[in-house]
């Protein structure tokens, strides 16, 4: 045994420790952490920003490069879904409208 197994085990244990500390950071103190008002207001938008950061590249990129044609089923689907959302403000309807536009264009026309 030359100790090859020690390095991966230490790496995994280190990652576990880092994950536990970062995930439990806000639960460790006994009292609430004081946050400035500007930070408290900004944190309300964090989920929306994270969602946009995940979805936006998926809409404008294909296989790691920007799409080069407007004949991509994702673009009309996003436009129709966005229009529905601003008209009715319903999440389920937005998903249904987006998929109702996307699937025929993608599967039927091969966009």
Residue 4: inside a domain, yes or no? Answer: no
Q: pLDDT tens for residues 19-45?
A: 998 888 777 777 877 889 999 999 889
Residue 3 structure tokens: 């100790």
Residue 94: inside a domain, yes or no? Answer: yes
pTM above 0.75, yes or no: no
Structural domain boundaries enclosing 80: 32-108
Residue 74: inside a domain, yes or no? Answer: yes
Residue 27 structure tokens: 């639960």
Residue 71: inside a domain, yes or no? Answer: yes
- Does pLDDT of 77 surpass 90? yes
Q: Strand 61-62 relative to strand 65-66: parallel, antiparallel, unpaired?
A: antiparallel
Residue written as token pair 């319903």: 90
Residue 11: inside a domain, yes or no? Answer: no
Residue 6: inside a domain, yes or no? Answer: no
Q: Sorting pLDDT into bands at 50, 70 and 90, what band is 14?
A: very high
Q: pLDDT tens for residues 84-111?
A: 999 998 889 999 999 999 999 999 988 8
- pLDDT, residue 71, reads 85
Overall domain count for the chain: 1
Residue 20: inside a domain, yes or no? Answer: no
Residue 21: inside a domain, yes or no? Answer: no
Q: What is the DSSP string of the chain?
A: --STTHHHHHHHHHHHHHHHHHHHTTTSSSSPPP--HHHHHHHTTHHHHHHHHHHHHHHHEETTEE---S--THHHHHHHHHHHHHHH--HHHHHHHHHHHHHIIIIIS--
């Amino acid at each position: 045994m030359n100790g090859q197994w020690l390095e991966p085990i230490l790496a995994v244990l280190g990652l576990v420790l880092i994950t536990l500390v970062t995930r439990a950071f806000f639960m460790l103190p006994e009292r609430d952490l004081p946050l400035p008002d500007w930070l408290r207001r900004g944190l309300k938008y964090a989920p929306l920003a994270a969602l946009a950061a995940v979805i936006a590249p998926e809409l404008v990129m294909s296989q790691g490069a920007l799409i080069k044609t407007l004949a991509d089923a994702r673009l009309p689907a996003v436009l129709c879904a966005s229009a529905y959302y601003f008209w009715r403000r319903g999440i389920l309807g937005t998903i249904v409208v987006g998929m109702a536009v996307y699937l025929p264009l993608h599967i039927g026309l091969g966009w």
